Amino acid sequence: MNSTTLSQLASVSGDTLSKFLPRVLPTLVQAYANSLGTPTADHECNNCLAVVLSVGDQLGVSSCVDILLQLALGTGTVVAALNAESPTGAIDLQALRKGAVRVLSLYTLQT
């Protein structure tokens, strides 16, 4: 998945992005989590933030926070869906939680 392209599309999609957040945001956070400790980590984090910050409607904001909290806690339907889609059947939960907490923290600082 090209997270840069996805974040650019999200920034121009307006309120229509909200209905796709449960599919898009966890994938972006997972891409960021997988890049932790690499030179591309900041870029991947910025891609996540671009998507989250482009959401302006109340339902979308609520959905973003809910998704990020599920990822940070490592529980819920969002994490179960990522596990199911993983080629190995399991994701790096520790990295995913760390990535979600970072994105959620930066989001709250910028809003």
- pLDDT number for residue 97: 92
- pLDDT number for residue 3: 76
- pLDDT number for residue 14: 66
- pLDDT number for residue 37: 93
Reported as type and span, the H/E element at residue 39 is none
The low-confidence residues of the chain, meaning pLDDT below 50, are: none
In whole angstroms, what is the distance from residue 65 CA to residue 104 CA? 7
Q: How far is CA 36 from CA 5, 21, 47, 92, 97, in A?
A: 20, 22, 14, 11, 11
